[in-house]
Amino acid sequence: MQTRNYTTDVLIIGGGTAGTMAAIKAKEANPELQVLVLDKADIRRSGAISMGMDGLNNAVIPGKATPEEYTLEITASNDGIIDQRAVYRQASECYGIVKELDSWGVDFEKDAEGNYEVYRVHRNGKYVLPMPKASDLKLILAKQVKKMKCKVVNRVMVTRLLTQGNQVTGAIGLDVFSGELVVVQAKAVVMTAGAAGRMGLTDSGYLYSTYENPTNSGEGYAMAYHAGAELTGIECYQINPTMKDYNGPACAYVAGPFGGYTANAKGERVTGCDYWSGELIMNMWKLANKGDWPLYLKLTHLDDQTISQIESILHYNERPSRDRFHSGRGKDYRTDMVELNFSELGLCSGHSASGVLVNHEAETSMAGLYAAGDMACVPHQYLLGALTFGKISGTNASHFAQGQSHAEPDPAQIEAERARIEDILSRPDGVPHQQVEYKIRRIVTQYLMPPKTITKMEIALEKIEHFRKVDLKLLGARDAHELGRALEIHSIVDCAEMMARASLFRKESRWGFYHYFLDYPERDDENWLKRVIIRKGGDGSSELYTKELPPYILEPETEAGNSKGELKANEQSVH
């Protein structure tokens, strides 16, 4: 393998929503610094939302909602396991991001007076701000990255971080077009590498019909783990309500404000609140097990004009191929309800809570290493959280880089990664990546899926260990592209092992279906209102332990739900 080298002040790993914003803000904080963005795809269309998004799900717009209300809403939605300072910071600073996106040409829904329109999907507050025509969001962000003169190198998939003790000094990756090994020296690194979305098998049987864009295969989680960073909430899986087979979101968020809802086969409304949470998935799972299944997205009661309006959002935005999926099956929202199902399981802090442990400054447990977006644990952060924490991570990485000098990369780390990659290339006639990927995802689906049991998790660990020894040694690749897909399987295996270990460690049930553990079926706040941390120890094996939550800055809602959302008197200032 040929080697290509780069040197930069700030390295951004992944140019999705969080990564592009991090790059823009790193450069804005100090235009003298070099900022390099590496992306395994192309930043114009990469990350979670290649074609854009139809709305911001958690916009805290002054006059419509307060950061206090939002923070309490997410405290409740994530069963108390959050860093309130981080969520509060997102809520406080996201309005500035909305206005900045607006100034860059992103189209938001506004009333006659030009005020942002927001709708209620969460339990209490109104936070959903539609972007009916914002299909160009990634193109707009990519244009700003270029304008700020950040360096972008597409088609480089970062696979490992370079470290020196507890500090990160760069990264190693693969150019998935040329097949070169890429080595980067950096003074500060921001990981924005997305979710782990290729964990479970899809219901269609097509490997890549995942809920998440399948480029989001967990490299961020794996590289953070191997560098020795702390990860948390890994046992709090992501499982979403999706359109069966197509696997796009069920779209109650879009259809809800127009009068659409989740219904049973008789067309009767079955969910009171369509906000995505482990509790919603638990309710769906219980209905499925009672035989009251499938569920549907019901729009048939709406008039033609309203349905056309919903179609104009759903069919031209986040997932534009939705229309041809429906028409291929001869279905129409006017006459047919849309069958729903569960997504495959995965890891994603955008909708759930699994990620690299970060504080309200996007700092990880390692010096010089920041994380944002779907792979950083700021629960339920969605697109706007990726943008807001993208900004925070980029700004802070820029400040950190300023006081640093470059460290020489450790040759042993580079050689170890080269050996891992070249081993796969040495087997052009090895088992194709599709088959090897199917097998590990089958293990994930059959043993890691809730309801969890000690027995299932232990079988999973045994099978994963066997998979590493046998299957990964059979996996082959014939070119740089296949090599990239093969390395993604290594990430899937690492994430699967973390899921089993973190699940076994948390000896209670929490987050509805996400961590429904039959050996410990009750929520146990007395012993488990804390984080579970997993990280790679010095001897190469995983370490698991708990960590207390950062002190709350707001009193959580009581069961009666009578909280006023006031800040604790002694902690008015949160950042």
- State whether residue 498 is helix, strand or coil: helix
CB of 306 to another protein, least distance (A): 25
Half-sphere exposure of 117 (CA within 13 A, CB side): 13
Helix ranges (H only) for 322-432 are 322-328, 382-402, 411-425
Helix ranges (H only) for 16-149 are 17-29, 67-77, 84-104, 137-147
Considering the complex, state which of residue 154 and residue 546 has its C-beta at the smaller distance from another protein: 154
Considering the complex, state which of residue 176 and residue 500 has its C-beta at the smaller distance from another protein: 176
Considering the complex, state which of residue 67 and residue 484 has its C-beta at the smaller distance from another protein: 484
CB of 485 to another protein, least distance (A): 7
Q: Which amino acid is at 542?
A: S
Q: What distance, in Å, lies between the first and last C-alpha atoms of the chain?
A: 47
CB of 481 to another protein, least distance (A): 6
Considering the complex, state which of residue 154 and residue 542 has its C-beta at the smaller distance from another protein: 154
CB of 329 to another protein, least distance (A): 7
CB of 194 to another protein, least distance (A): 11
> How many degrees, rounded to 5, is the angle at CA 179 between CA 176 and CA 182?
85
> How far is residue 59 from each of residues 36, 96, 229, 293, measured CA to CA in Å?
29, 10, 30, 33
CA distance 493 to 510: 24
DSSP collapsed to 3 states, 145-175: HHHCCCEEEECEEEEEEEEECCEEEEEEEEE
Name the DSSP letter for residue 116: B
- The answer to whether 390 touches 104, Cβ cutoff 8 Å, is no
Considering the complex, state which of residue 315 and residue 399 has its C-beta at the smaller distance from another protein: 315
- State whether residue 98 is helix, strand or coil: helix
Considering the complex, state which of residue 84 and residue 217 has its C-beta at the smaller distance from another protein: 217
Check residue 277 and give left, alpha or beta (phi > 0: left; psi -120 to 50: alpha): beta
Bridge partner residues of 188 (DSSP): 10
* Binding-site ranges for another protein (CB under 8 A): 40-42, 44-46, 50-51, 154-155, 176-177, 204-210, 213-215, 245-247, 319-321, 324-325, 328-329, 481-482, 484-485
CB of 20 to another protein, least distance (A): 14
CB of 154 to another protein, least distance (A): 7
CB of 145 to another protein, least distance (A): 15
CB of 408 to another protein, least distance (A): 32
CA distance 72 to 556: 6
Q: Residue 528: in which H helix or E strand, if any?
A: helix 525-528
DSSP collapsed to 3 states, 248-291: CECCHHHHHHHCCEEECCCCCECCCCCCCCHHHHHHHHHHHHHC
CA distance 396 to 341: 40
CB of 117 to another protein, least distance (A): 26
CA distance 426 to 410: 24
CB of 458 to another protein, least distance (A): 32
Considering the complex, state which of residue 45 and residue 468 has its C-beta at the smaller distance from another protein: 45
Considering the complex, state which of residue 106 and residue 377 has its C-beta at the smaller distance from another protein: 106
CB of 85 to another protein, least distance (A): 34
> How far is residue 281 from each of residues 251, 285, 307, 328, 402, measured CA to CA in Å?
15, 6, 26, 28, 46
How does 252-287 read in b/e, with b if 16+ C-beta sit within 10 Å? Answer: bbbbbbeebbbbbeeeeebbebbbbbbbbbbbbbeb
CB of 370 to another protein, least distance (A): 24
Considering the complex, state which of residue 207 and residue 459 has its C-beta at the smaller distance from another protein: 207
Considering the complex, state which of residue 38 and residue 162 has its C-beta at the smaller distance from another protein: 38
Q: Residue 311: in which H helix or E strand, if any?
A: helix 304-314
CA distance 415 to 552: 45
Considering the complex, state which of residue 169 and residue 213 has its C-beta at the smaller distance from another protein: 213
Considering the complex, state which of residue 243 and residue 532 has its C-beta at the smaller distance from another protein: 243
CA distance 324 to 186: 45
Considering the complex, state which of residue 45 and residue 120 has its C-beta at the smaller distance from another protein: 45
